[in-house]
Structure 1
Amino acid sequence: VALTPRVGGLFGSLLIGFLIARHGSAVAYLAVAVGYLASAAAMFPARANGRSSAADAGSVRADVFDFLTTIRRDRVLLQLMSLTALAEVLGFSHQALLPSLARDVLRVGPGGLGVMTAARQVGGLAGIALTSRLGAARSFGPLFLGALIAFGASLVALGFAPSFAVVLLILVGANALGAATDVLAQTLIQLAVPSGLRGRAGGAWVVSIGMAPLGQFQIGALASLFGVSAALGVNGLALMAVGAAAALLVPRLRKL
């Protein structure tokens, strides 16, 4: 499931960049709308299999209460949720600056932005592929913290990249690390709770990644005040500090 959006994004980025450069934004938006309509039409023949899954007899209110009780008793889950949210706010928010980076810093235009976005998708695919090869590794916690710190370092490097080619390479690496932190965060959140609460833990991960708009607002404000490079550098350093602090102050994460 995590792979398919990135595969679509890879080819879609190149296509939309080409359409904007050649025919303008209106044609690009029309192409996006046609794609959504085609996706919706493809779902019309789908039918439910008629089998109902075994549902938990408890109420939604009881489920929420149980999950909050779990967070209160096991603080590592709350810490993982917080780290995931901070990765979204400080790390993945760099995507909001790519248009400005392409137009104002690199001056490569819509076609260049499409290539940059495609490089981001390539990195995401690489990160998921590499993470999937970990199998039943017994050190997900240190891997997560290491990827988080490296993700921050890659954003600092992105802010000071000297050329378009270097930016593309860094985008591949940064988004490979971002995808790895994403997958590892989901894995650790699932491992941190009893099996009966794993569905709710998945919901906790969704809540955490829902903090992304805050990061887009924050990095946009920084860029408007101090420039794109400074905004990327500040967020990257902050993410590195978060990862290092978690490694030092939350020893249980290193044991997961």
Structure 2
Amino acid sequence: MSGSALLASFRQPGFGIVWLSICLNGYSAHISTVAISWLALEFTGSPFGVGQALAIRILPRLFFSVPIGSMSDKMDRRIMLQATNFFGFGMSAVATIASMQGWFGFRGVLIVAMLVGIFDVAETTLAKAYVYDVVGPDNAVNGLALEQLANKLFGIVGGISTGFLLAVFGGVGAFAAMAVTYLSSGLLLAIIPRIAPRTGAFRDLSSAEDAGVPSASPGLWGSIRQLMNTPAVLAFAIIALSAEVFAYSSEVLAPSFARDILQVNEQGLGNLVAARNAGGVLGVLLLGSLARHVRPERLLPLICVGFGIGLMAFSFSTSYLLSLALMAMVGLAWGSVDALLPTVLQQNVSDMDRGAAVGIWNLSRGFGPLGQLEIGALATIIGVAATQALNGLIFAVTVSIVMLAYRRRANHRVQ
């Protein structure tokens, strides 16, 4: 693993500051995931309650992904990302106060889940497109792998510390930690113009002055339909949707695996999340180091199939130590897929449509509530382990079928 190859994007002015900001966002994201899922389970006592909360968190992707992505193609993405972090700070501060006053119940969990979801869709769309701005197309795979590394590294800390915060301070500790990190991330982004005033300057922003802020109009959706007619965009959007419904939705079952199958407490749940992120760190380290030597379109389906197999293997484990190891393997695939999907989509569209392409990726992920509700409801009928095994199998088969169809169409065009 070449250190110089892995850190190639850090040679771009301003990338280090962006990376630190994303680190803090990754920490907050994993605090919110563990806190929302655990509090939902405590208030309802059912995996279906966890599914409801996490589904509501994902729902904003259906409404905001494409407009935010398209808007960012005509505005300063750094300023938009900074404003997003300040929104997260305000939301977390209010949740902290409400929890301190004893006003927080399952309804409060649902409200926080919705607001965190709005933050998530803006941050993921803007950050992935902004990283591409900063590093350029030649370093896109490396830059977005490092973006995932930032999320995963601080996700490990977030997973472990959230278990402690919930056990000692309850929701107050988790929400207060989120508020501090959101504020710090937003303030960091303010430094970039002073140390790297030309960061991302190769983007053509001249249309921003004339076009104004776009809205979800017929023209906008017409351009999205045009992008979806690109075979690669369509194929990888379907894979993103399938990953959200059948693979990423497995986080709904994590509290139940921890409490009911592995017989561990909230700290054990936090450790499972940390193991997943440790695997994600290894995955993006490998991806970042080999960025110049891999073809994302060929690598992605192989990792997706491995993702599904890993979920199936985890479902059969009753050993906590083995489950930690399997969760790390799942995390390796999880982090790699998260880095490769938006990279491939941006590489298959024009430069001025990259924000919209990332928006399509997030829109596909917005159908995740179907998976969150499906996996929670099915688990109450056939059990937690059987549900995860079935979903892992469906994901692996779906990816295989989509890629076979995509390759066949591509070969037909060549002939």
Q: What TM-score does the superposition give when structure 1 sets the normalisation length?
A: 0.87
Q: CA deviation at 1:100?
A: 0.1
Which of 289, 292, 299 pairs up with 1:143?
Answer: 299
- Aligned-partner Cα distance in 1 for 2:166–2:342: 36
SS at match of 1:108: coil
- Aligned-partner Cα distance in 2 for 1:14–1:254: 45
Q: CA deviation at 1:35?
A: 1.1
Gapped runs of 5+ residues in structure 1? none
Q: Does 1:36 align with 2:178?
A: yes
Q: CA deviation at 1:115?
A: 1.1
Whether the 8 Å CA contact 2:231–2:406 is kept in 1: the answer is no
Q: CA RMSD in A?
A: 2.6
Q: Which amino acid letter does the alignment assign opposite residue 67 of structure 1?
A: I
- Aligned-partner Cα distance in 2 for 1:179–1:125: 7
Question: Matches of residues 162-201 of structure 1 in structure 2 within 5 Å?
Answer: 162-201=318-357
Q: Which amino acid letter does the alignment assign opposite residue 223 of structure 2?
A: D
**Mean alpha-carbon deviation: is it higher for 103-112 or for 229-238?**
103-112
Q: Does 1:71 align with 2:222?
A: no
- Aligned-partner Cα distance in 1 for 2:289–2:162: 32
The aligned length equals 250
Gapped runs of 5+ residues in structure 2? 1-146
Residue identity over aligned pairs, in percent, reads 27
Q: Which amino acid letter does the alignment assign opposite residue 160 of structure 2?
A: L
Q: CA deviation at 1:187?
A: 1.6
- Aligned-partner Cα distance in 1 for 2:188–2:298: 45
Whether the 8 Å CA contact 2:307–2:392 is kept in 1: the answer is yes
Q: Which amino acid letter does the alignment assign opposite residue 17 of structure 1?
A: G
Whether the 8 Å CA contact 1:154–1:170 is kept in 2: the answer is yes
Q: Does 1:204 align with 2:370?
A: no
Q: Deviations over 1:179-224 (max 9, x none)?
A: 1112111121112222332221111112122222221111111111
Question: Matches of residues 36-185 of structure 1 in structure 2 within 5 Å?
Answer: 36-42=178-184, 43=186, 47=190, 49=193, 54-56=205-207, 57-58=210-211, 60=214, 61=217, 62-72=219-229, 74-137=230-293, 139-185=295-341
Q: What TM-score does the superposition give when structure 2 sets the normalisation length?
A: 0.55
- Aligned-partner Cα distance in 1 for 2:188–2:299: 42
Q: Deviations over 1:56-100 (max 9, x none)?
A: 24463445433322323x233122111111111111111111100
Q: Deviations over 1:81-137 (max 9, x none)?
A: 111111111111111111000101010112211111110111122222222123234
Whether the 8 Å CA contact 1:11–1:118 is kept in 2: the answer is yes
SS at match of 1:2: helix
Q: Deviations over 1:160-195 (max 9, x none)?
A: 013111100110001110111121111211122223
Compared CA separation, residues 120 and 254, structure 1 to 2 (3 A): farther
Q: Which amino acid letter does the alignment assign opposite residue 70 of structure 1?
A: L
Q: Which amino acid letter does the alignment assign opposite residue 234 of structure 1?
A: L
Whether the 8 Å CA contact 1:119–1:172 is kept in 2: the answer is yes
